Structure 1
Amino acid sequence: MNKRLLYIVSFVVLSTGVFFSLRVYNAFSQAVDTPNLPTIMESNAEISDLNQNILQKKNSIDEIKAKQDAYKQALAEKQAEKATLENQLAIFDNRISAMELNIEDVRLNMEATELEIRKMDLQIKLREEDINKQKERIAAALGLLYKEGNKSELEIILLNDNFSDYVDQIKHIKDINRGLADDLNKLKSSKEQLEADRRQTNIKKLSLEQLQVKLESSMASLTNEKSSKVAILDQTKQSENEYQRLLAQAKKEQQDAAWDIANLERLVRLKLAESQKLQDSTTPGSTDMIWPVPKNTITAYFHDPEYPYRSVMEHPAIDIRAKQGTTVVATADGYVARTKAGNDGSYAYIMIVHANGLSTVYGHVSKIFVSEEQFVTKGQTIGLSGGMPGTAGAGKMTTGSHLHLEVRLNGIPVNPLDYLN
């Protein structure tokens, strides 16, 4: 039997779908293959350099964290020692050094983040180039397929030199179809990854903005801490006796205020209960309180272990950074139980009794705009912040301008951050 006739017989046996797949094979096998994208990225010199720089930054950050831990340990040891002027200055020195390291830590994190953004931008560029190559590859295959599609099945059979070549092509039909489908899936996956890379880059840029805010806050804290040290030296005139005298005064001021607040709250609640003027309008334990000053850096936390004077007195509040003379508002509706002015430089504060057993104390205020036995509403201005050493209402041994905020539940100090929005 003639060889070409044998091909014709074979054609009759095979389905039309087989010849369609053969045309796909012929077209697909002529398309230009592209290198694997991960391989391209790994071999890219610029990405390699960026990875090395990022690693160096992260190693430097780890070294700084180790130094920060050492300063924290030294600070804890000094706070455990007897309260002396020398120890207090050492505490400030340790805190200042720790803050300087914190600033360096933030700067290194910013630099590492900037490098990561550059790396991701480059990866996005490479991925876009890869997507374009994939599109070109698929377009070329489809173009050749269209060209081959204009030939009849009989032409394809007759163009084969021998039957074995024809059979070999048939054996690869499944792989051929899968190859083109894989390329289409790869293109779809690459586009999805590109969008994910862009989202991740935006997250990194947002992180960089947050680090910038943190850097500015850390630098402000450092300036404040240095000012506190200068204020201590100025107030004590570097005299141990003067330091001990001022420390005793500061401790007495806080003790007197705490005793006054605790006793007054009980009496005021009894008085209000009789007149039914203060109704429980919120859920017990409500956290529905607003910030008394614009939300800002917390310079000392509730029972803060790093509080500069913790060896002498606890810190049953949070200190919120606020410039001298910042407007102070009531955190919630309430009744003004006490307004203690400090025009002579002593500690000044405002106490407000709220519903549900809550009360708030606003300390180091430089001016008071409300009166005792006055009802106030949430957000109403009640005074101005203070705390700058030597100014009205600041009190003794103050650490700089800020607002001291206490929240009490049934007379017992609780963490204000659990109640502020």
Structure 2
Amino acid sequence: MKKETKKRLYRALSAAVGAALCLSFFVIPDKSFNINATSASIEQKKDKIKELEERNKQIENSIASLENDIDQSEKKQELYLQKLNAIQEQLDNYNNLLYYMEEDIAAKQANIEALNLQISAKEDDIAQKESKIERLNAENEENLERFGDILHAMYVTENADIFSVLAESADFYDLLVRTKMMINVSKQNDDMMQQLKESIENTEKIKKQLENDKTDLESSRLNVISEKEALENNKSELTVKQKEASQLSSEYSNAYSQYSQEINDIVNKQEELQKEKKANAAEIAAYQQQIDREIQLAQKDSNQVYQEGEWIWPLETQFTMITTYFGYDDWRGGNHSGIDISGGGIYGHPIYASKAGTVIIAKTTYIEGYSYGKYVVIDHGDGYSTLYGHCSDIYVSVGQQVEQGEAVAAVGSTGWSTGPHLHFEVRVNNIPQNPFDYVKKFW
């Protein structure tokens, strides 16, 4: 009887326990399940954010690369502009020289034409003088012939004396006339001879002077022609250089325009990338808002009760160097949502929970160069939470309860980090606060 009673009691107790377990399974809410579900949703959005951030990183790299391309194109453009200015200045000098050469050549040509006219005039004058000389020579020959006749007559009468003149004279008056005539004839002969001599000498002198003038003019003309030919040769050489300079100027101008177009294309590409980056940033912001809401929901689903008391420093006390404070940061060009704590040999040292709470995010996957890398978020209740970023290792999991001062991760340099450090945030209702408003400064 006792054994049967015990069996019945055992079966009743088992049934009661089973019913209680079934009832608890269907009635009691599973907070850890909700937290895990929320965490999964957050992780999906985080992954999407990382994807967008990675794309933006690629865009940033592309923009930076395009900046380098612009710099190179601008340098090349500046170089070609300098070359263009130099060759243009050279071309201007060539044009000026050609202008003055053409002016000089025109002046030389005018001088040649003037000398040709002078030479032609001298040739006409010489021809006239030669004609006059021929006429004078003819007159001289005639006078010489007449003078010869007179000499012959005088020679014939060379032996006649004054007595024959007297004998032939009819009277004294006739004698005087004959005597005077003989004297005049003799004087005329002397005068004629002198005039003949002077005429020939003057004519020869004039002819010689004209020939000298003509020779001088011809020499001047040849000199001017030589100078003109030299100028024309220089002009030909300069024209070749001018054409070469014009060709270079055209090439440099085309190169300058080409680089201008390249720069415009690059700038347009940058603008397109900036637009895409802005759109991605807007999408990231939207996802971040969703994450914030889901963290808030995760905090609401959490039963964590806020524990009054001080917040403790999240690292060992030898690590107190602040490399970046909370608030606006020039280097980032924006607000810094926490403080960065570093120090010599900090890598791998433990990170402690600043307050007791429930782990609502334990991110172990990340994209290099982005965001917090590996990080932990702990809900402390009443809307308070802390974030520990750039960890090298994560010691906790989502839904895990942690005590104040418990090691939750190790210091690293994952994500967007330039060296080993802890990025530490304190949030109230998911809004970043200055950690020094909560954590006691003990140094």
| TM-score of the pair, normalised by structure 1 | 0.35
**Structure-2-length-normalised TM-score:** 0.33
- If asked which structure has higher relative contact order (CA below 8 Å, sep 6+), I would say 2
Please state which structure has a larger fraction of its residues in helix. 2
Greater C-alpha radius of gyration: 2
